[in-house]
A and B are shown apart, each in its own frame.
Chain A
Amino acid sequence: MNVQLPTGRELFEPKRPGSAEIAWCPGCGNFGIRNILISTLAELGLKPSEVAIVSGIGQAAKMPHYINANGYHTLHGRSIPIATGVKASNPELTVIAEGGDGDMYAEGGNHLLHAIRRNPDITVLIHDNQVYGLTKGQASPTTMKGMKTPTQPWGVFEEPFNPVALGVALDASFVARTFMGYFKESVEIIKKAIRHKGLAIVDILHPCVSFNKVNTYAWYKEHTYWMDDHDPHDREAAFRRALESDPLPLGIFYIHEKPSFEEQVPAYKRDKTPLWKREPKPELVKKFFEEKKL
């Protein structure tokens, strides 16, 4: 791929005093994802006030503090319902829900399932490092079988969660996987995810330099490949690709264009004004009482 590095990145560089010191470990994959996200937003020509990043809890979820955009750092696993509420209240905003694999697939698993059904026009970015970083190295839902951790000293024996297969199985609107080590390609994928109307899920592989000694930068390079010949509108092919485990395919697996949640709620059928600009309708309340007199 050949992508121009965007101008306008400086808009998204935070200037608040609390943003100066980044709490990620040196060498953490999250730095790369931050760079990718800033470039993506700049390339899309957005303004910081037009973007809202809603995060859960974990290292990944600290993103709103390291980017200049509207942000809401919420609770473990809860970013998706909150982001859904934000988008449904103001469809003019570009809304991104962000969190780690534990945040989105464990604590917030139920929310992800129902978001796929609801199809809000939000982008869900999962920083997938296959381990719990902030709590120091316990297994996450995507940890590979056999990996030994302080809390699974015998080695993980649970089947790892396959977010891509789940997304395709539930007919999600947009499902992709990337590795943050591929900068330009990742920008391209997330740009498409944000532009996509409806729920877009992007699983972003990245290493945890402190707690995951298995899935390193080199490991991801060796155990992934780009799908160059895949038609994302072919659901069966997408599902077959999703089941491949080694090497892991990267790219856009599945796209199903369908109406978004906000397009279907009665709030916007006649009037596109965001809810915060709206006022009560006393005339309708009066009418209700008139009818109750009868």
Chain B
Amino acid sequence: MSEFREDVSIVLGGAAGQGVQTVEAILTYALKKSGYHVYANKEYMSRVRGGINTTEIRVSSRRVRAFVKRIDILVPFKKGTLSWVKDRLGENTVVLGEKENVEEDFLDKVNLVEVPLTKMAMEVGSQLYLNTTAAGLIVGLFHGDFEAVKEYIRKRFGSKGENVVEKNIEAARNGYDLGVKLCEDGTIGIEVQKDEKVREEVLLTGTEAVGIGAFAGGMNFLSFYPMSPSTGVSTFAAQHAEDFEIVVEQVGDEISAINMALGAWYAGARAMVSTSGGGFALMSEALSLAGMAENPVVVHLAQRPGPATGLPTRTMQGDLNLVLYAGHGDFPRIILAPGSLEEAFYLTSEAFNLADKYQVPVIILTDQYFVDTYYNLPAPDVEKVKFERHIVEAEPGYRRYELTEDGISPRAVPGYGEEVVVANGNEHDEWGDITEDAELTIKMQEKRAIKKLETIKKNAHLPKLIGKENAKYLAIAWGSTLHVVEEALEKLGREDVALLHFSWVYPLNPEVKEFFEGKVLIDVESNITGQFAELLKKELGIEVHHKILKYDGRPFSVEEVLEGLKGVVE
């Protein structure tokens, strides 16, 4: 008998097109509805059919939000899955599935619990029912709420007709009964407590958190060119465009996308572009225009490994330097990198106020791991989102680039007020007309690159300290690695190690320096050079003492961070 308690990591693996994502969707939905905490994340190959894609689903009695390497139950839909995940298999891993899908080398090494999924699906009518059979089986292992499975199937397959719905429910039911039986006959034992609160929570992905955050912040214009892994946000916006009454347009290239968004902001809309590193590279020219013209813009950049096309479907925090330095000349920008889905919601909505207020590009940095992560969370409080409009009326004498103490000029939009608004990507006077005057150039350079930047710095959010203030060791993380470092620290269980997480990445508030004083600093980030550590050095003169870096295109696992931390603190 194989027994699992409190926290079970289930991995499903199969070819692209075999429906692993369908199983992921049914399971997260039904298990969350059954009162379990769930977390899911997928890894996939850059191809439409074939290859091996996997999904990890954690089912737990407490909140879990991070990727673990460990596999408790593996469901292979295709031969080759075990080889693909072989370094994640342990002594206790149970392989649940058909012998045909297990490579011969592994047959005498793993605990195989044979379940005839294909045969069961065929009995219902077709191999197409494999997914729902498997989903039912796993929900059965947890004695989950079968009504939730039915509900999901109705939602998902409803448009395909009653027969399809009924057949899928039948397949899921057969799987479910088998799952229950496996527990009852003692083959597999699972003990995970339900938490009633979970039922009232929402289940979101990183993509949805960014997308709905943008809507909450008043985004009413999105222009994009598709690029993995950022496209989900554009798809999300397009699917809600009619309800929210916004402009969503797929354009000819990334250059058009950001320029259109600049035009939209110039005319007073709240516009966003969603892209990845390669697309953002094309946007640098327009970013520079945004800097010079003090034209607000919000960019969502979902990172994937580069350079160039890199690993299109994988993850890395490798574009920090790109967004820090993109564009020629000196101009400020704001870089945000949410660590949790809550942060993704609040920060994305806030990005629009920040862009509006400071008239700079605001970049939201996520990554493939982040946008593809699912978990349950209490619904964010929509009331907490403040809508701040910073537009003024153009009255007679209005000057778009009026020199002010804090470097922020009043921004009017065409058509609001009698006066005209002249914006300019050339060096300009206060009215927006071209100038080559040396003294005025100095004033304008100082206004943008110093005064405005100082104003932003003073108001920049501080990082979040998790753990004791007087801890000797301080792990430093930014963006999507929040939860994995957090859980690794919990597992480490030492009070002398704390975590400082940055979701406001640039510019840094000078007060940030205080967090580092007298600590042994351990930088954890998912790139090869430690880009954030370099930023700390450059901006604040902080030198980290240790670096835990990962750059194979896969997300950090709790185990890897834990090992890395142990290597430093023990």
A-to-B contact residues, CB < 8 Å: 16-19, 23, 47-50, 52, 54, 62, 64-65, 68-75, 78, 81-90, 92-93, 110-111, 113-114, 118, 261, 265-271, 274-282, 284-286, 288-290, 292-294
CB < 8 Å neighbour of B414 from A49, A68, A74, A270: A49
Q: How far is the CB of A47 from chain B (nearest CB, A)?
A: 8
Residues 421-458 of B at the A interface (beta carbon under 8 Å): 421-426, 428-429, 431-435
Q: Which B residues fall within an 8 A CB radius of A?
A: 33, 151, 199-204, 208, 212, 215-218, 220-221, 223, 240-249, 251-253, 255-257, 259-271, 285-286, 289, 293, 349, 379-380, 382-383, 385, 387, 391, 394, 413-426, 428-429, 431-435
CB distance from B518 to the nearest CB of A (A): 43
Asked if A85 and B382 make an inter-chain contact with CB atoms under 8 angstroms apart, the answer reads: no
- Given A70-B421, A75-B289, A282-B382, are A275 and B267 also a contact pair (CB < 8 Å)? yes
Asked whether A17 lies within 8 Å of B259 as measured between CB atoms, the reply is: no
- B216 CB contacts on chain A under 8 angstroms: 280, 282, 285
Give A72 to B265 CA distance when docked, in angstroms. Answer: 12
Contact B285 A75 (CB under 8 A): yes
Pairwise interchain contact B245-A49, C-beta atoms closer than 8 A: no
> In the complex the two chains form, is A284's CB within 8 Å of B289's CB?
no
On whether the beta carbons of B202 and A293 are closer than 8 Å, the reply is yes
How many Cβ-Cβ contacts under 8 Å join chain A to chain B? 240
Q: Please, which residues of chain A bring their CB within 8 A of the CB of B425?
A: 73-75
- Check B268–A276 contact: CB distance below 8 A: yes
Q: Which residues of B have CB within 8 Å of A280?
A: 215-218, 349, 385, 387
Q: Return the contact of A276 from the options B200, B286, B391 (Cβ within 8 A).
A: B391
Residues of A within 8 A of B394 (CB): 49
* A90 touching B251, Cβ below 8 Å: no
A18-B429, A81-B263, A293-B201 known; A90+B379 contact, CB < 8 A: no
Contacts of B262 in A (CB 8 A): 74, 82, 85
Q: Is B433 within 8 A of A269, CB to CB?
A: no
Task: Check A289–B380 contact: CB distance below 8 A.
Answer: yes
19 A-B pairs with C-beta separation under 8 A: A47-B418, A50-B415, A65-B422, A72-B293, A72-B424, A74-B262, A75-B425, A81-B256, A85-B259, A110-B252, A110-B253, A114-B251, A265-B248, A274-B415, A275-B247, A288-B212, A292-B204, A293-B200, A294-B151
Of B263, B293, B379, the contact of A86 (CB 8 Å cutoff): B263
Task: With A88-B221, A113-B252 as known contacts, state yes or no: A275 contacts B268, CB within 8 Å.
Answer: yes
For B267, give the chain A residue with the smallest CB separation.
A89
B420→A85 contact, CB < 8 A = no
Contact in complex: A72, B423 (CB < 8 Å): yes
| Least CB separation from B352: chain A residue | A280
Which residues from B are CB-within-8-Å of A62? 434
Q: How far, in angstroms, from A47 to B415 measured CA to CA in the complex?
A: 10
Cα distance A249–B392 when bound, in Å?
47
The answer to whether B221 and A85 have CB atoms under 8 Å apart is: yes
Interface centre among B248, B256, B414, B416 (most CB of A within 10 A): B414
Residue of B nearest to A16 (CB): B431
What residues of chain A lie closer than 8 Å to B293, measured between beta carbons?
72, 74
For residue B260, which residues in chain A have a CB less than 8 angstroms away from its CB?
A: 81-82, 84-85, 88
Tell me, in angstroms, the Cα distance from A48 to B265 when the chains sit together.
Answer: 19
Would A52 and B267 be within 8 Å (CB), given that A78-B286, A111-B252, A293-B202 are in contact?
yes
CA–CA, A17 to B437, complex, Å? Answer: 13
Residues of A near B418 (CB, < 8 A) are: 47, 49
